[in-house]
Amino acid sequence: DAGITQSPRHKVTETGTPVTLRCHQTENHRYMYWYRQDPGHGLRLIHYSYGVKDTDKGEVSDGYSVSRSKTEDFLLTLESATSSQTSVYFCAITKGGVGTEAFFGQGTRLTVV
Amino acid sequence: GENVEQHPSTLSVQEGDSAVIKCTYSDSASNYFPWYKQELGKRPQLIIDIRSNVGEKKDQRIAVTLNKTAKHFSLHITETQPEDSAVYFCAATYNNNDMRFGAGTRLTVKP
């Protein structure tokens, strides 16, 4: 599992509230990613990081922000959750950038009611 | 928008038969094409990948073929077994900093 842990594993939150998901890795990998998985869409990249304090937007970044203040932690924040953000969120790491194997965390199922 | 199209969305085969899943991509600069398997309630895991300088790669019962001219690649599973039942995702690098995934194929292998 490449030492990746996501927390929480499940969360139900109300529309309009802020939510932060955490991805923790133990192997000091430089590249970390946040994806969301929805039926009919596969996995879509939200944001990624290529080092401490170095982050960039992915395909579906609107409504999300990220922070990486330490190598081991990559946080995803929904500033004001909406029902369209109900999804399963996966964190991933790669050992050599985007063109190498991705190792995924266990996923976080987020429901916005 | 969609940069990787995957077909079929569902596939049912009899145990022992072969299964083929096809993907097309739009970015001619794509150079890495992985396939992931996701069992129910689990995380996606890489089963095979191919780079743009290779036309075919095989690993036991699994093979991937790549046609860069036509911008499509395929996953072939031979002698399917019930434990091959899962959702399979293809992917392709995009713009050198992103990985675009297909929508997935739910494979069911009937015993």
Provide the residue-wise pLDDT of chain A in tens; the chain has 113 residues: 679 999 999 999 999 999 999 999 999 999 999 999 998 889 999 999 999 999 999 999 999 999 999 999 999 999 999 999 999 999 999 988 888 999 999 999 999 99
Phi, psi of A81, deg, nearest 5: -60, 140
Phi, psi of A25, deg, nearest 5: -125, 150
Closest CA in chain B for residue A107: B43
Tens digit of pLDDT for each residue in B25-77? 998 888 999 999 999 999 999 999 999 888 999 999 999 999 999 999 999 99
- The whole-angstrom separation of Cα A23 and Cα A1 is 13
As given in the structure block, the two tokens for residue A58 are: 């992915």
Beta carbons within 10 angstroms of residue A82's beta carbon? 11
Q: Which of B31, B49, B99 sits opposite A45 (nearest CB)?
A: B99
- The whole-angstrom separation of Cα A12 and Cα A86 is 9
- The whole-angstrom separation of Cα A101 and Cα A92 is 10
Closest CA in chain B for residue A100: B32
Q: Which of A56, A58, A106 sits opposite B43 (nearest CB)?
A: A106
- The whole-angstrom separation of Cα A34 and Cα A104 is 9
**Which residues, in sequence order, are bridge partners of residue B57?**
B64
**Which residues, in sequence order, are bridge partners of residue A7?**
A22
- What is the pLDDT averaged over residues B72-98? 93
Contact B89 A44 (CB under 8 A): no
Beta carbons within 10 angstroms of residue A16's beta carbon? 10
Q: What is the CA radius of gyration of chain B?
A: 13
- The whole-angstrom separation of Cα B32 and Cα B54 is 10
Q: What is the CA radius of gyration of chain A?
A: 13
pLDDT band at B1 (very low <50, low <70, confident <90, very high): very low
Considering only A16-20, A27-31, B86-90, B92-96, which range has the smallest mean pLDDT?
A: B92-96
Can you give the pLDDT at residue A21? 98
Is the CB of A45 inside 8 Å of chain B's CB atoms?
yes
- The whole-angstrom separation of Cα A43 and Cα A91 is 11
Q: CA nearest A71: which of A56, A89, A54?
A: A54
Can you give the pLDDT at residue A50? 92
Asked whether A52 and A68 are in contact (CB, 8 A), the reply is yes
Asked whether B4 and B24 are in contact (CB, 8 A), the reply is yes
Residue at token pair 């969360």? A11
The distance between the two most distant Cα atoms of chain A, rounded to a whole number of Å, is 38
Strands A64-70 and A87-94: what pairing? unpaired
Can you give the pLDDT at residue A96? 86
Can you give the pLDDT at residue B97? 74
Mutation target among B24, B31, B43 for the A interface, most CBs of A within 10 A: B43
Contact A98 B32 (CB under 8 A): yes
